Amino acid sequence: MTVTEPMLAGGVAVVTGGGSGIGRATCLRFAAHGASVAVLDVDGAAASSVATEAGGRAYQVDVTDFDALTAVVDSVSADLGTPTILFNNAGGSGIARLGDLDVAEWNRLVALNLSSVFHGIKLLAPRMAAAGRGCIVNTASISGVRPATGEGPYAASKAGVAALTATAALEYAPFVRVNAVSPGAVHTKMTDPLLSGVAGAKEWWTAKTPLDRIGTPEDIADVVVFLCSPMARFVTGQNIVVDGGMTLHGSGVDGLLERLERGVTDG
């Protein structure tokens, strides 16, 4: 799809986890829509590479480190101007049953997926409110809406992101809009070990998706641009699920009509 009219001209966008996947695609879309982009990532080389692609600036930072993030936000403000957009997107997952999960791993995943979002909001929402405008989008997940086995800290963190989004939207209205996106299955560095490494995983996820394909980072980035644009001027506090319809499945009578139509009544 080609961009016909920039929707974020003059904006200054901070993107965490901007070095890969959904964050990278969003940096490129933000730039295409006229925003100056600060690419934040714990992987400095990845941040630099995306900053070059987006014509933006790279900042190496671990978003779980509040003091380090504070220093980077100050640098971005000095380099590019007060941020008007924040995409709190850095995250990562793991898989283990609760009884097998180390406490340290629980703490790591909650810090990465939930506390980091608090850090970004705490640092930038008051500055945006003081400036009289701003927009924040947080990356949650369908795992927060529909958790699965093995996803304890990830699912709980992402559900927490949705709740934190609502609180922030209330606290910083009317000047700052705060929303979340909940991606479904998207092929990125995070999901590649599953999609490329587990036989049949791609087909299995595709079959669970009514729109009949695995998502792309751009599928999410376009919704983030929309949420940050004037097109979404009356939208705040929402968690927008972008999953090709995957979470529509799961009701008690899921598939019953199809079974009846095939004449299958038992088994």
Ligand X SMILES: NC(=O)c1ccc[n+]([C@@H]2O[C@H](COP(=O)([O-])OP(=O)(O)OC[C@H]3O[C@@H](n4cnc5c(N)ncnc54)[C@H](O)[C@@H]3O)[C@@H](O)[C@H]2O)c1
* Residue (7 or 161) nearer to ligand X, CB: 161
Interface with ligand X (CB under 6 A), residue from 12, 41, 160, 169: 41
- Residue range at the interface with ligand X (CB under 6 A); choices 39-47, 128-136, 166-174, 196-204: 39-47
State how far the Cα of 14 lies from the Cα of 128, in Å rounded to an integer.
12
Enzyme catalytic residues: 154
State how far the Cα of 57 lies from the Cα of 34, in Å rounded to an integer.
14
Q: What is the DSSP letter of 215?
A: B
- Residue range at the interface with ligand X (CB under 6 A); choices 37-45, 72-80, 164-172, 253-261: 37-45
- Residue range at the interface with ligand X (CB under 6 A); choices 56-64, 166-174, 226-234, 252-260: 56-64
Helices (H), the chain: 21-32, 44-54, 66-80, 103-110, 116-131, 142-145, 152-172, 192-197, 201-207, 217-228, 256-261
The minimum distance between CB 188 and ligand X, in angstroms, equals 3
* Residue (13 or 46) nearer to ligand X, CB: 46
The minimum distance between CB 215 and ligand X, in angstroms, equals 7
State how far the Cα of 267 lies from the Cα of 252, in Å rounded to an integer.
16
| Cβ(80)–Cβ(54) below 8 Å | no
Size of the site for ligand X (CB under 6 A): 29
Furthest CA-CA distance within the chain: 68
Interface with ligand X (CB under 6 A), residue from 8, 15, 186, 224: 186
Site for ligand X in 200-259 (CB under 6 A): none
The minimum distance between CB 222 and ligand X, in angstroms, equals 14
Among 29, 215, 9, 249, which residue's Cα sits nearest to residue 137?
29
Q: Per the structure block, which two tokens stand in for 30?
A: 């933000």
Interface with ligand X (CB under 6 A), residue from 81, 92, 193, 245: 92
Q: What is the DSSP letter of 74?
A: H
Regarding 64 and contact with ligand X (CB under 6 A), the answer is yes
Interface with ligand X (CB under 6 A), residue from 122, 189, 213, 259: 189
Q: Per the structure block, which two tokens stand in for 180?
A: 């979340």
| Cβ(217)–Cβ(50) below 8 Å | no
Site for ligand X in 106-165 (CB under 6 A): 112, 139, 141
H or E stretch including 59? strand 57-60
- Residue range at the interface with ligand X (CB under 6 A); choices 29-37, 89-97, 120-128, 250-258: 89-97
Q: Per the structure block, which two tokens stand in for 183?
A: 């991606």
The minimum distance between CB 61 and ligand X, in angstroms, equals 6
Q: Which residues contribute to the site for ligand X (CB under 6 A)?
A: 16-17, 19-23, 41-43, 46, 62-64, 89-93, 112, 139, 141, 183, 185-186, 188-191
